A and B are shown apart, each in its own frame.
Chain A
Amino acid sequence: MTFTKLYDTAAAAVADVHNGATVLIGGVSRTGEPTALLAALHSHGAAGLTIVCDFSGWDGSDSIVKLAADGRIARIISPNPYPSASGDNLREVWNSAGVAIESVPQGTLAERLRAAGAGIGGVFVPVGLGTRFADGRETRTINGVECILESPLRADFALVRAASADTLGNLAYQGAQRGWNAVMATAARITITQADTVGEPGAIGPELVITPGIYVNRVVHIPPTGEQG
């Protein structure tokens, strides 16, 4: 039998997401978001989740908002929890669902995820000084520059979206899909990919592979349905 990371359904791929898990969700709104995996996670019913995502807008049945409204989310860690277009509505959703919101600077979130994937124990970065993000934090002056110690952010699961995958989990993205998906794919114990196309090993040129298969545990083939990928 040929080794494959391919799962038949999104439901099967998320079946072991446990209550209280920390789950990374790639993409920004509908761009590069793993919509089918989000819908499957909703059907699956796991609750008490900590969700790490960027812009958590939109309100379809396959959205983070729907997960929150139905009481599945305990906490959201995001650089953009109240995006300008729908910020006030979302504030109400988070409040009424009892979701704790942890706002984090975008670049620092990316670096903390990268650190988790790269086995880095912590990084000193000169970001956030003089703001609430420095409150109570360990700081150190290095080369005359004051820096904050930021710790890796590791997750149980990452749900990511790719334009193409092979059965070994090598991934390529399209345009802005890459943003969060590429960094989140490295930072979870189990990374689950929703791929628009899936080929045999070698289908993606090696120079074009952005996420090597070693970071990816499961692949689900979901042909796009016309929504923005």
Chain B
Amino acid sequence: MPPAKLNAQAMARRAAAAIAPGDVVAIDDGLPTLVPDATSASLGAWFLGNSGMLNDIPLSQADAAAVIRGGYVNLAVVSAAQVDTTGSFAGQHPPGNAVDLAAGAHRVIALLPRSDDVGASNIVPALSSTPDGYRCVDTIITDAAVIDVADADLTLAELAPGWTADDVRAITAADLSISPTLREMDFTPSNGAPPSKIYPDGPSALADLPDGATVFIDGFGGPGGMAHYLLISLRDRGSRGLTIVSNTAGIARVVSFGTPPGRTAIDHSVLIENGQVAKAIASFPVSPSVSRPSEFELAYRRGEVDLELVPQGTLAERLRAGGAGIHAFYTHTGAGTLIAEGKETRNINGRNYVLEYGLLADFAIIRAHKADTNGNLVYRGTSRNFNAVMAPSARVTIAEVDEIVAPGQLDPEEIVTPGPFVQRIVQRPQGFTGYE
């Protein structure tokens, strides 16, 4: 009499035990859809379903795909029909999201269907169809065992209660090594909570911003949508040799729309006059007024800073591409102009296109209206501008917000930037304005 096999809920519980606090977990159709209910809410995990829902936040399929390709998925739980010894797998209802998850997720767990439903081993020396995921599975969970995949070798790591290694080998077509730490499956849910994203002030949020960093700075032309408090905090921190990526290189001060008499608007100029900037990548780097040059223009004329000029729409698209795992793209913008000099051009369906590359940064300092403590952001009016495309494309995104609210206080339909894109949140001090 063979030992009892795990039911679907137990398999889901074992998968859920692999989730770390704050993980983004992509959930394939089928058995993996049981995993969220098997996970403790205190873990603060984010579940991305095939429908594009990120917890209760609806994403377009293009945005959901960007989350996956952009490297934001810590763990994917896929429905596999077969897995081979190299960790390639065939999906149960291919291709679905399996191909994207295989390519984009940091770690892949393959949940196999219950063997009674299949009638044959689905852990095999070679797949009987072409793979949906190529050499990507890290862990296989079946109704009898947990098997680790490494270096084209399968290692039996855990057994369902009552099972022996020989029982598992008897129903497995592929060869299995036995882990020296072979043990009974542990269904203990992960514990803990993700670290808080709330920082007490600007200096603490920027304390690890190194010299030579690439920094996205939001804003358009005037003072709106710019993280003024974080800009001042970055000036005070004094990091040098920065590459700043921004729509302008600081023109709010010289344009001075709406600036109260006797004061100056805070913009990138505070960094430039402090000697912190080595290069700007921008679409509108100079003052609109010849008689009132910006700090960046003056520094450029002195030969102190470099400039890469990018058309505004191309800048936005390059920023989106970086965070969305698109390494390069063809755009018609700039074809036949100076912008295309030195770049690859290509005729596609009778039209000339320029090859442009995705942009990534070490830090982004952005400005939002409200955040919840999970890092979900809403903007207000035009201050959304570059914030929303910058947030996913930096390793550390810091949001300066007017108000921080509890989870559930923001309407999920209104959330523009989901929390996984935001690592740190700083409340703009009461009374702080965009002017010095």
Q: Which of A84, A109, A130, A210 has a CB less than 8 Å from the CB of B88?
A: A130
The docked-state distance in angstroms from the alpha carbon of A82 to that of B65 is 21
* Chain B 135-166 interface mask (CB, 8 Å, partner A; 1/0): 10000000000000000000000000000000
Q: Which of B49, B52, B103, B332 has a CB less than 8 Å from the CB of A126?
A: B103
B53 at the binding interface (Cβ < 8 Å): yes
Q: Is the CB of A131 within 8 A of B130?
A: yes
Q: Is the CB of A179 within 8 A of B51?
A: yes
Q: Is the CB of B328 within 8 A of A142?
A: yes
Q: Is the CB of A129 within 8 A of B103?
A: yes
The residue in A105, A109, A175 that gathers the most chain B C-beta atoms within 10 A of its C-beta is A105
Given known pairs A119-B332, A123-B329, A147-B327, the reply for A111 and B62 (CB within 8 Å) is yes
Task: Please name the residue on chain A nearest to B356 by beta carbon.
Answer: A120
The docked-state distance in angstroms from the alpha carbon of A121 to that of B354 is 9
- B395 → chain A closest CB, angstroms: 15
Q: Is the interface of A mostly helix, strand, loop or mixed?
A: mixed
B3 at the binding interface (Cβ < 8 Å): no
A226 at the binding interface (Cβ < 8 Å): no
Q: Number of B residues whose C-beta is below 8 Å from A?
A: 58
Residues of A within 8 A of B348 (CB): 121-122, 151
Residues of A within 8 A of B97 (CB): 79, 105-107
The docked-state distance in angstroms from the alpha carbon of A126 to that of B358 is 13
Residues of B within 8 A of A147 (CB): 327-328
The docked-state distance in angstroms from the alpha carbon of A206 to that of B416 is 13
> In chain B, residues 327-374, which have Cβ atoms closer than 8 Å to a Cβ of chain A?
327-332, 346, 348, 351, 353, 357
Task: Please name the residue on chain A nearest to B134 by beta carbon.
Answer: A130
> In chain B, residues 57-110, which have Cβ atoms closer than 8 Å to a Cβ of chain A?
58-62, 64-65, 68-69, 79, 88, 92-100, 102-104
Q: Is the CB of A110 within 8 A of B328?
A: no
A143 at the binding interface (Cβ < 8 Å): yes
Q: Is the CB of A179 within 8 A of B64?
A: yes
Q: Is the CB of B65 within 8 A of A107?
A: yes
The docked-state distance in angstroms from the alpha carbon of A180 to that of B105 is 22
Q: Is the CB of A127 within 8 A of B103?
A: yes
Q: Is the CB of A132 within 8 A of B413?
A: no
Q: Is the CB of B326 within 8 A of A111?
A: yes
Given known pairs A120-B330, A125-B69, A180-B61, the reply for A107 and B100 (CB within 8 Å) is yes
- B131 → chain A closest CB, angstroms: 5
Given known pairs A179-B59, A183-B62, the reply for A124 and B53 (CB within 8 Å) is no
The docked-state distance in angstroms from the alpha carbon of A206 to that of B329 is 30
Task: Please name the residue on chain A nearest to B30 by beta carbon.
Answer: A84
The docked-state distance in angstroms from the alpha carbon of A125 to that of B102 is 13
Residues of A within 8 A of B413 (CB): 172-175, 208
Q: Which of B62, B321, B357 has a CB less than 8 Å from the CB of A113?
A: B62
B40 at the binding interface (Cβ < 8 Å): no
Residues of B within 8 A of A142 (CB): 327-328, 357
Q: Which of A82, A129, A207 has a CB less than 8 Å from the CB of B134?
A: A129
B residues with a Cβ closer than 8 A to A are: 29-30, 49-53, 58-62, 64-65, 68-69, 79, 88, 92-100, 102-104, 130-135, 317, 321, 324-332, 346, 348, 351, 353, 357, 378-381, 413-414
A residues with a Cβ closer than 8 A to B are: 28, 31, 54, 79-80, 82-84, 87, 103-111, 113-115, 118-133, 140, 142-143, 145, 147, 151, 172-180, 182-183, 206-208, 210
